[in-house]
């Protein structure tokens, strides 16, 4: 699954809007039922179709809320559901048993008969890759899962998984989820990008706004909310972070757009990125995020952001 490989998905997705995914990590936790429905309505109405979650988000409530929204709006054939397994306390790890149990639980919570993209959430080296991939193969053969991906894997582990899959005729990872932003470049660009380029797969960029820091809302410790969601934004306060914000402010001024929208446009410009996966707590936030899809940064703007974030 590459940035332009829409034909490989199980649903027809608008090419432009497919390049932005909504992150379900706050649903059922920071966002209640009504707020979650409002965000998903706004995202869908703006052309968004890709919804990403995980079985452990809010103990499974994220999947429940997404499933309820899909069912009540009768939109299963129009949306692309991606979820992750491996970290839910009822089905931890990636043993064959855990994978089968976790997938069935995801299907029940999401109220669907298939998952478009199932991710192994984090590397679990205590289980042989061959066992995990064989369990995924059974899910794909049964029609419960359409495609397989990985989340938070190293480049070396992705290469090992490809070798095992090809040697044994098991499913390949079609994509990888990883944090990637102007503030978290090095792990991706030094390790992950070379591997995904070799493998010919794409990256879903999680936390592309660095937990909100790249919106410009947090300029001091007093600005950062007392929430697990945003506490990591505080780690970017300082000279390096402010240098990036200054460059973003200049680019945003030239584009007539918000800092966050320009930060997302930078992520989308990177090699092998399929889509940023963004959090939104309100319909108004969705509108700003979706607007970023139409922003094309100029070469000098990309260069300025690259220099500032090195």
| Domain spans in the chain, listed from the N-terminal domain onward | 6-236+269-281
Q: In the numeric block, which tokens belong to residue 202? A: 């794409």
Which residues in 71-188 belong to E strands, given as ranges? 80-85, 117-121, 148-151, 173-179
CA dist 185 and 192 (Å) reads 10
pLDDT at residue 107, rounded to an integer: 98
Treating both helix axes as pointing N-terminal to C-terminal, what angle do 96-110 and 129-142 enclose, rounded to 10 degrees? 40
- How wide is the angle at C-alpha 296 spanned by C-alphas 290 and 301, nearest 5°? 120
**Cα distances (Å, whole numbers) of residue 266 to 182, 206, 230, 283:** 8, 14, 21, 23
pTM, full prediction: 0.92
The H helix count followed by the E strand count for the chain is: 12, 8
Nearest Cα residue to 117 out of 95, 84, 93: 84
pLDDT at residue 5, rounded to an integer: 45
Q: Which fold has domain 6-236+269-281?
A: TIM Barrel (3.20.20)
Rg of the chain on CA atoms, in Å: 19
CA dist 4 and 206 (Å) reads 19
Query: Is residue 301 within 8 Å of residue 254, measured between CB atoms?
Result: yes
pLDDT at residue 238, rounded to an integer: 86
Per-residue pLDDT of the chain in tens (310 residues, 90 and over written 9): 655 444 334 444 444 456 899 999 999 988 899 999 999 999 999 999 999 999 999 999 999 999 999 999 999 999 999 999 999 999 999 999 999 999 999 999 999 999 999 999 999 999 999 999 999 999 999 999 999 999 999 999 999 999 999 999 999 999 999 999 999 999 999 999 999 999 999 999 999 999 889 998 877 666 666 555 666 777 888 899 999 999 999 999 999 999 999 999 999 999 999 999 999 989 988 988 998 898 999 999 999 999 999 9
Q: In the numeric block, which tokens belong to residue 192? A: 């992950």
Longest dimension (CA), the chain: 54
């Amino acid at each position: 699954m590459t940035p332009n490989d829409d034909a490989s998905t199980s649903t027809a997705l608008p090419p432009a809007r497919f390049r932005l995914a909504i992150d379900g990590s706050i649903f059922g936790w920071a966002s209640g039922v009504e707020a979650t429905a409002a965000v998903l309505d706004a995202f869908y109405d703006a052309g968004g179709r890709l919804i990403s979650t995980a079985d452990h988000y809010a103990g499974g409530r994220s999947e429940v809320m997404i499933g309820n929204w899909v069912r009540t709006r009768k939109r299963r054939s129009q949306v692309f559901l991606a979820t992750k397994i491996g970290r839910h306390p009822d089905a931890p790890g990636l043993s064959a048993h855990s994978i089968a149990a976790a997938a069935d639980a995801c299907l029940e919570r999401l109220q669907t008969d298939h998952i478009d993209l199932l991710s192994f959430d984090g590397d679990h080296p205590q289980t042989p890759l061959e066992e995990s991939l064989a369990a995924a193969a059974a899910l794909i053969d049964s029609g419960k899962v359409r495609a397989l991906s990985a989340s938070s894997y190293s480049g070396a582990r992705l290469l090992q998984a490809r070798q095992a899959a090809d040697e044994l005729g098991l499913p390949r990872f079609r994509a990888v989820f990883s944090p990637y932003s102007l503030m978290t470049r090095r792990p991706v660009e030094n390790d992950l990008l070379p591997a995904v380029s070799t493998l010919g797969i794409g990256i879903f960029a999680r936390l592309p706004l660095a937990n909100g820091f790249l919106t410009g809302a947090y300029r001091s410790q007093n600005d950062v909310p007392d929430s697990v969601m945003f506490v990591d934004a505080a780690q970017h306060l300082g000279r390096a972070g402010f240098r990036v914000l200054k460059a973003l402010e200049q680019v945003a001024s030239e584009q007539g757009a918000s800092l966050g929208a320009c930060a997302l446009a930078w992520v989308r410009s990177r090699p092998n990125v399929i889509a940023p996966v963004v959090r939104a707590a309100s319909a108004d936030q969705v509108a700003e995020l979706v607007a970023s899809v139409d922003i094309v940064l100029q070469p000098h703007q990309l260069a300025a952001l690259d220099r500032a974030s090195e």
